[in-house]
Amino acid sequence: MIAFNKYYNHFNVVSTFLIVASLILLVFKGLNFGIDFKGGTLIELRSTDTKISVSSLRDKFSQMNLGDVSVKKFGNDTDYLIKFENKDNKKNIIEEIKSNLDKSFGNNFNFRRVENVGPKVSAELLKSGVIAISLSLAIMLFYIWIRFEWQFSLGAILALFHDVIVTLGVFSLFSLEINLSIIAAVLTIVGYSMNDTVVIFDRVRENLRKYADIKIYELTNISINETLSRTIITSATTLLALSAIYLFGGEILKGFSLAMILGVIFGTYSSIYIANTVLVRLKVSQKTVLREDKE
């Protein structure tokens, strides 16, 4: 049996540090919102001429009066991702860019993807993303509240907040882009983290009923160990599937799968070191679960 409980206090400090650091990052550095939430235009280009360099392309775009333009390589040497604000929401901007590029580089570009999100739509998408995440947290809270006692709910929700905030914190730290698919990833993380916590809690509750004389500090450790191989196998297979998406699923799914990978790791960690320590700190005992059984 691994003595997970020996490190409860240490990892509480670590978790608190992670959450505080993430919150500081989120407040002061903020998130790197993509055009879905900020508005603007995105173009994915593929050039057939390998002699064209990023810097020459960047120069050309900065001459086009598009405002703040970012030109980056995307995946391989011939693909480029161009983003700009398109503040005036010019109607024929893509046509202008196309003819401009044709003039300077010849007809060597294939417009593989064009996305344009107006300011009104991006504000709405951001709003509905925030609502979706808040709603999912609220529904999870409600679900766990009817399934378990309040001490368990608090533990699960704290673990959830930790996972969401720290995942977003990592995105903020490395300035990774937040777009619609990241919202989907965060929601899945919420589901996964909850799933993981519930499995351990289920066992804690079962053991609480079984053993009257074991203290919660020991009991959580027993429960974690009993469910440990399941925790490891499930997170391993999930991570295997996610790494397959990250490595082979193409550029578009990179951010999404990265967020999920982070979420699964944090989710597994928090089920053990946040959710359970809350039970210990709240001094959950057999009485807590037996009271409910009587009702």
Q: Which is nearer to another protein, 25 or 274 (CB)?
A: 274
Q: Site mask, another protein, residues 26-45, x = CB under 8 A?
A: ------------------x-
By CB under 8 A, tell whether 77 contacts another protein: no
Q: Which of 12, 100, 116, 285 binds another protein (CB under 8 A)?
A: 116
Eight-state DSSP code of residue 50: T
Distance CA 130, CA 121 (A): 14
- Contact predicate 208/288, CB 8 Å: yes
SS3 content of the chain, % helix, strand, coil (to 5): 70, 10, 15
CB of 251 to another protein, least distance (A): 9
Q: CB-wise, 9 or 128, nearer to another protein?
A: 128
Which residue from 261, 255, 263 is spatially nearest to 75, judged by alpha carbons? 255
What is the distance between the alpha carbons of residues 160 and 133, in angstroms, rounded to a whole number?
11
Residue closer to another protein by CB (options 25, 268) is 268
- Residue 146 binding another protein, by CB under 8 A: no
Whichever of 257 and 270 has its CB closer to another protein, that residue is: 257
Does 49 contact another protein by CB under 8 A?
Answer: no
119-147 vs 150-173: helix crossing angle, rounded to 10? 150
Question: Rule CB under 8 A: is residue 81 a binding residue for another protein?
Answer: no
Q: Does 47 bind another protein (CB under 8 A)?
A: no
274 is a site residue for another protein (CB under 8 A):
no
**164 scored as a contact of another protein (CB under 8 A):** no
Site for another protein contains 117 (CB under 8 A): yes
**Which x/- pattern over 233-252 shows residues binding another protein (rule: CB under 8 A)?**
xx-xxxxxxxxxx-xxxx-x
171: which strand partners?
Answer: none
Near another protein by CB under 8 A: residue from 7, 105, 143, 145: 143
Single residue of 2, 135, 173, 290 touching another protein by CB under 8 A: 135
Q: Which of residues 171-230 bind another protein (CB under 8 A)?
A: 180-181, 183-184, 187-188, 190-192, 194-196, 198-199, 202-203, 206, 226-227, 229-230
Which pairs with CB-CB distance under 8 Å and at least 24 residues apart come from 227-236? Answer: 227/199, 227/200, 227/203, 228/2, 230/199, 231/196, 231/199, 231/200, 231/268, 231/271, 231/272, 234/196, 235/196, 235/264, 235/265, 235/268
Question: Based on CB atoms, which residue is closest to another protein, 13 or 138?
Answer: 138
How many residues bind another protein (CB under 8 A)? The answer is 71
- Cα 161 from Cα 190, distance rounded (Å): 9
Residue 203 tokens read as 């066992």
Tell whether residue 121 is a contact of another protein (CB under 8 A). Answer: yes
User: Residue 148 and residue 141: Cα distance in Å, rounded?
Assistant: 10
**Part in contact with another protein (CB under 8 A); list of ranges 12-20, 24-32, 114-122, 170-178:** 114-122
Burial of 272 (0-12, 13-18, 19+ CB in 10 A): buried
Q: Determine which residue in the list 7, 115, 214, 281 makes contact with another protein, applying CB under 8 A.
A: 115
Q: Applying CB under 8 A, does 254 fall inside the site for another protein?
A: no
Query: Within 13 Å, how many C-alpha atoms sit on residue 211's CB side?
Result: 14
